[in-house]
Homo-oligomer: A and B are copies of this chain.
Amino acid sequence: MKQVNYALYKTTLVIGASTLKQVLWYFTNILVLKNSMIPFSGVKVFLLRCFGAVVGDRVLIKPCVNIKYPWKLKIGNDSWIGEGVWIDNIDEVIIGQSVCLSQGSLLLTGNHDYKKMSFDLITAPVIIEDGVWIGAAAIVCPGVVCKTHAVLSVASVATKDLEPYSVYKGNPAIKVADRIIY
């Protein structure tokens, strides 16, 4: 059997920012977002925009949020990023309007080709369309599109696209109901 050897690994990731910008964001993210010594959402939105994120109006960023690369992030109007949310966006993450990412949820954009000895990195964007609710401690995997007004229940794991106006549950998440809004 062949064996992996991470010494062969070469990253092909395009980070898309200067080293200085990366370092400044690293500490801004830890001090202001992740450790939340400044609790005001407006300050965090301002800083995210300074680092290249496109952030709409009335967006709420709760404490202890962790964002990898703000220059690869778009958030629409009236969306909420809950406490302890982790947006691990080495690839693009696009979040629509009136989206709720509940506390402790995790968006992933990186994977590895585990069939190669060099364990190559594979990235894919995550798209969360308007009106979607990602429940507490739920996880969205790389490349997944959560279509408009889908709901991913607490602690569920979306490994495939979520259909519009549908409620998903489980690990992996499967559709369990329609979402009808009155």
Contact = CB atoms under 8 A, between A and B. Distances in A.
A4 interface: yes
Interface in A1-50: 1-7, 26, 30, 34-37, 39
Copies of chain A in the complex? 3
A4 B151 contact: no
Contact of A154 (B36, B84, B115, B141): B141
Interface in A126-182: 130-131, 133, 136-137, 139, 141, 148-149, 151, 154-157, 159, 164-165, 167, 169-172, 179-182
Which bucket holds chain A's interface residue count?
Answer: 35 or more
A2 B6 CA distance: 50
A112 B165 CA distance: 15
A2 B181 contact: yes
B26 A30 contact: no
A162 to B, nearest CB: 13
Nearest to A79: B6
A101 interface: no
A169 to B, nearest CB: 8
Contacts of A181: 1-4, 114-117
